[in-house]
């Protein structure tokens, strides 16, 4: 009985401390120390999330096996860091309001699982929701932000995806600001992923709140389609790509546009997977895989681990690419890189093969937003084909290529040293 009383008093004291901290952070002077963690996500986050493949059908064994596979397949060495559990890990709140995991799915608790992931040299991510309930009707964080943030910090969470279901009456910026402050108060640096589907233009206010923000509704494993669920829609890769227009001005190191997770390996063709991955790298998107890492084809592994393509995404300038031109269903995209390099991607959106002919010296590519220019009359560039992984000449000669349906040719241009 004495032990139970001590435990109860300790829990009450803990909650009172959290309530006092919450009150302190809502006072006039709170802006001095209530902020997002800096120096995180200086390049787009890379990792794996459970939702696209497993949805609610998750448990601790699956998460452990994904962590194992991220290491054994070489994805960790390619730059992938985070193992993120999406919705359905939650069980209940106790009488003091503290969140507990579903004991059937996660019998050893979340901290033990985070420790397992950390022991692999990886980082651990978790999901919650700004509303009363998550999208799958598990307990949300509304009204419990400071308790949840403190709990996540104690568990060893490194990344929080924060959704937007059951948020009636809430202001999006205010709700995400509250959780940002709670995370900062908890003291553990946690990447904060804003996931309100772009409905409240988070790119306009998210820079000082989160490290990335969703720009659209959910992706689906389809190259060019819309899936109507009645009250909401999920979007194909090309539809989501089109929704990114006009947003590149808002992204950069520590604050990224997020066009949703990758569907590579989830049923599209190899060509479509390659195009999907390439375009996400061209727009400096977070690279969060969503497939079963234990059972990947050689083609899927080759796409997800192509370090030369990943380097385009992870370039330290942090500048999104842009569509420069479009010719006969082939879009031509350019992305400024460090050391006056450029990435170029020819995207064939057609269901038929296309031939592209590009005369470099007839073009001067200007990125007025970031003051970058590629003048091919004045500068000669070496050309590296990033998917063929070979050098293919210079921009002194015109470029020609046959591009299969729903596929890409992706190049890196480097100035010729004189």
**Cα–Cα dist 35/57, whole Å:** 35
Cα–Cα distance list, 2 to 96, 108, 229 (Å): 19, 26, 55
Residue-level pLDDT at 14: 52
pLDDT of the residue at 33: 61
User: By the 8 A CB rule, do 341 and 317 touch?
Assistant: no
Of the three residues 313, 338, 365, the one that is the final residue of a domain is: 313
What's the CATH number where 383 sits? 2.60.40.1180
Among 99, 67, 60, 95, CA closest to 81: 67
Within this chain, do residues 341 and 302 fall inside the same structural domain, yes or no? no
Cβ atoms 82, 125 nearer than 8 A: yes
| 284 found inside a domain | yes
Report the share of the chain in percent with pLDDT over 70: 92
At 287, which CATH number?
A: 3.20.20.70
User: Both 303 and 340 in a single domain?
Assistant: no
390's enclosing H/E stretch is strand 390-394
The reply to whether 9 falls in a domain is: no
- Strands of 205-341 (E only): list them: 212-214, 226-228, 233-235, 256-258, 287-289, 322-327, 330-336
Shared domain check, 123 and 259: yes
Question: Is 21 a domain residue?
Answer: no
**Does residue 29 lie in a domain region?**
no
Q: Is the separation of the CB atoms in 201 and 209 below 8 Å?
A: no
Shared-domain flag, residues 382 and 267: no
**Phi (first) and psi of residue 162, to 5 degrees:** -120, 110
Average pLDDT, the chain: 93
Same domain, 253 and 352: no
| In-domain check, residue 22 | no
Given the residues 218, 260, 313, 315, select the one marked as catalytic.
218
306 and 369 part of one domain: no
pLDDT at 134 over 50: yes
Q: What predicted TM-score, i.e. pTM, was given to this entire model? A: 0.92
273 is catalytic: no
Check if 87 is active-site.
no
Tell me the C-alpha to C-alpha distance, in Å, between residue 317 and each of 252, 333, 375, 383: 8, 17, 19, 20
Q: How far apart are CA 41 and CA 193, in angstroms?
A: 10
Place of tokens 């932000």: 145
Tens of pLDDT, residue by residue over 169-203, are 999 999 999 999 999 999 999 999 999 999 999 99
Q: Are residues 141 and 217 in the same domain?
A: yes
Any domain includes 382: yes
At 4 the pLDDT is 45
| Burial (Cβ within 10 Å: 0-12, 13-18, ≥19) of residue 417 | exposed
Q: Per the domain annotation, does 140 fall within a domain?
A: yes
Is 25 contained in some domain? no
The rounded distance, in Å, linking the Cα atoms of 152 and 99 is 10
Question: Among 313, 333, 350, which residue terminates a domain?
Answer: 313
**49 and 82 inside one domain:** yes
Number of domains in the chain: 2
Q: Which two tokens stand for residue 241?
A: 């790509």
Select from 288, 313, 338 the last residue of a domain.
313
User: Is the domain of 201 the same as that of 119?
Assistant: yes
Query: Going by DSSP bridges, is the β-strand pair 90-93/99-101 parallel, antiparallel, or unpaired?
Result: antiparallel
* 69 pLDDT above the threshold of 80: yes
pLDDT-derived band at 18 (thresholds 50, 70, 90) equals low
What pLDDT is stored for residue 417 in this prediction?
A: 86
Quick one: 296 and 331 in the same domain?
A: no
The per-residue pLDDT for 27 is 40
> Could you tell me the residue range of the domain that residue 367 belongs to?
322-415
Q: What would the pLDDT profile of 391-413 be if each residue is shown by its tens digit?
A: 999 999 999 999 999 999 999 99
- Indicate which residue of 87, 129, 163, 292 is catalytic: 163
> Same structural domain for residues 308 and 327?
no
176 and 287 inside one domain: yes
Task: Give percent of the chain with pLDDT exceeding 90.
Answer: 91
Query: What pLDDT score does 2 carry?
Result: 42
């Amino acid at each position: 009985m004495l032990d139970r009383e001590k435990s109860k008093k300790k829990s009450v004291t803990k909650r009172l401390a959290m309530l006092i901290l919450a009150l302190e952070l809502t006072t006039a002077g709170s802006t001095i120390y209530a902020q997002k963690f800096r120096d995180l996500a200086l390049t787009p986050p890379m990792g794996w999330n459970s939702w696209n493949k497993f949805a609610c059908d998750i448990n601790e064994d699956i998460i452990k096996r994904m962590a194992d596979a991220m290491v054994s397949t070489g994805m960790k060495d390619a730059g992938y860091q985070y193992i993120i559990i999406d919705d359905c890990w939650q069980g209940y709140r106790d009488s003091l309001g503290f969140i507990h995991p579903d004991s059937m799915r996660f019998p050893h608790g979340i901290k033990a699982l985070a420790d397992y992931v950390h022991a692999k040299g990886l980082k651990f991510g978790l999901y919650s929701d700004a509303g009363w309930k998550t999208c799958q009707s598990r307990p949300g964080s509304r009204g419990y932000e400071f308790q949840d943030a403190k709990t996540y910090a104690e568990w060893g969470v490194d990344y929080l995806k924060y959704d937007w279901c059951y948020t009636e009456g809430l202001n999006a910026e205010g709700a995400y600001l509250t959780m940002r402050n709670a995370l900062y108060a908890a003291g553990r640096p946690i990447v904060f992923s804003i996931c309100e589907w772009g409905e409240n233009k988070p790119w306009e206010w998210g820079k000082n709140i989160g490290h990335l923000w969703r720009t659209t509704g959910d992706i689906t494993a389809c190259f060019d389609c819309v899936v109507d669920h009645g009250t909401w829609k999920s979007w194909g890769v090309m539809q989501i790509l089109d929704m990114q227009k006009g947003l590149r001005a808002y992204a950069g190191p520590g604050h990224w546009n997020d066009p949703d997770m990758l569907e590579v390996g989830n049923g599209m063709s190899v060509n479509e997977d390659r195009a999907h991955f390439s375009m996400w790298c061209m727009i400096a998107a977070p690279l969060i895989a969503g497939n079963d890492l234990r059972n990947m084809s050689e083609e899927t592994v080759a796409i997800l681990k192509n370090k030369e393509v990943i380097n385009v995404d992870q370039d330290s300038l942090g500048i999104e690419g842009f569509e420069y031109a479009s010719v006969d269903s082939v879009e031509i995209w350019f992305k400024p890189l460090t050391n006056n390099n450029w990435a170029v991607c020819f995207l064939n959106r057609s269901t038929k093969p296309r031939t592209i002919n590009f005369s470099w010296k007839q073009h001067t590519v200007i990125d007025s937003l970031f003051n970058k220019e590629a003048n091919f009359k004045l500068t000669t560039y070496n050309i590296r084909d990033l998917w063929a992984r070979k050098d293919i000449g210079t921009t002194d000669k015109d470029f020609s290529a046959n591009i299969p349906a729903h596929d890409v040719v992706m190049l890196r241009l480097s100035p010729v040293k004189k």
